[in-house]
Amino acid sequence: MHYQNERNFGCRVSDDWEYRGNKVAIIENEKIRVIILVDKGADVYSFVHKPSDIDYMWRSVWGVRDTRKFLATTGESSWADTYEGGWQTCAPTAGNHTEEYRGAPIGQHSEMSTMPWDCQIIEDSPEKCSIKFWVRTYRTPFFMEKTFSVRSNSPYLDIDYKLTNESSETEECVWLEHIVFGDPFLDQSCRIDMPNPKIFNWSEDTKGARLKKYEKGEWPYTVSKNGKKEDMRVVPPKDSKLEDLAMFHDFQEGWYAVTNTSKGVGIGMLFDKDIFNYVWNWQVFGGGSGYPWYGRHYNLGLELCTSLPDGSGFPNSTDKKTSIKIKSGDSIKANIKAITYHSDKGVAKINSDGSVIEIRKEEK
């Protein structure tokens, strides 16, 4: 469509934008504005809470690349070279060490999050707007669809997903929603709330790690390198120079929340825990010496995933695979609600309708 309906009230959506050579879509209502890089993985580049003018999404120091004018010096780290931060959809592999998929060379977090997607506005009214994105991968036989929707005065973004195996055979898959929060939303006054998952310290025993390698915990505590309790509700400051990776699993309910108690705003994710069995907790709190972070970044990843990194099992476990299997022609459907809210305390629960129950003072 050459000319879309223009509106400056209620719900609004447009895919007629460009940023640094990338096609861009914007969907918003009175409370939130979401910017999607259509030509780069249909990534959520920006997610703004309008009343507070806070963008929840982290942005890397190198930002969005115009890949028409950018050539990496090697092909080994191209995912990181074009990683602007924000929120990516990654499938059918995810993790740092994947080398191939069924004979196809494959890089970090697979190909879906670096490809251009197609899109179409499917609903456009002051009461509700929806835009659909889809992609068919090159080296693997998968077709991903995701539809973003907002309703008037609603505090959340509603996303419907459908992942289809187009192979003639059953295929393995790791599906990761790579969601990363950053400053200025993220600071040491933030609090993380979850419905009592188990914790596994995936971290390596490096200088910047605070967690003891391969130890287990029960929310909210796990074991630190010095053998003491580590409260995972707490977000350390940037000058702590920490970098860790933990896995949350066996959720009682499918939600989590991050609240900035000093700014009085937060964001939560409501998800299907039977599909997204794990939340990867990627933490770069000023840590990460050398490539690619060089101690410059401050971010918190709470990434929904069907599996553990590269589809493996827990280290030292008899279960060697966590990747899911999808039969030929079959699809997996899922829904995620990204919910904004006001709070200076934290979250006790997110209900199935997206409503947020704040922690009472005595529960803090």
**R_g of the chain, CA atoms, integer Å:** 20
Q: Which of the pair, 290 or 196, is modelled with greater confidence?
A: 196
Residue 96 vs residues 92, 115, 337, 338, 342: alpha-carbon distances, Å: 13, 18, 27, 26, 35
The answer to whether residue 5 is domain-embedded is no
The answer to whether residue 276 is domain-embedded is yes
**What is the per-residue pLDDT for 319?**
74
Whether 159 contacts 354, CB under 8 Å: no
Cα angle value 65/69/73 (rounded, 5°): 85
The answer to whether residue 1 is domain-embedded is no
Average pLDDT, the chain: 93
Q: What is the CATH number of the domain that holds 186?
A: 2.70.98.10
* Neighbouring C-beta atoms of residue 44, cutoff 10 Å: 24
Q: For the residues of 287-299, what is the DSSP string, one character each?
A: ---STTTTT--EE
Q: How confident is the model at residue 194 (pLDDT cuts 50, 70, 90)?
A: very high
In this prediction, what percent of the chain has a pLDDT beyond 90?
Answer: 81
Residue 220: cis peptide before it, omega within 30 degrees of 0: yes
3-class secondary-structure state, position 120: strand
Domain range for 139 is: 12-358
The answer to whether residue 106 is domain-embedded is yes
Q: Is 42 left (phi over 0), alpha (psi -120 to 50) or beta?
A: left
The answer to whether residue 7 is domain-embedded is no
The number of domains in the chain is 1
The answer to whether residue 364 is domain-embedded is no
Q: Side chain identity at 340, as an amino acid letter?
A: T
The answer to whether residue 200 is domain-embedded is yes
The answer to whether residue 4 is domain-embedded is no
**In degrees rounded to 5, what are phi and psi of residue 91?**
-170, 150
Q: pLDDT for 30-61, tens place per residue? A: 999 999 999 999 999 999 999 999 999 999 99
Q: pLDDT for 226-278, tens place per residue? A: 999 999 999 999 999 999 999 999 999 999 999 999 999 999 999 999 999 99
pTM above 0.85, yes or no: yes
Is 74 a residue whose pLDDT tops 80?
Answer: no
**What is the per-residue pLDDT for 98?**
62
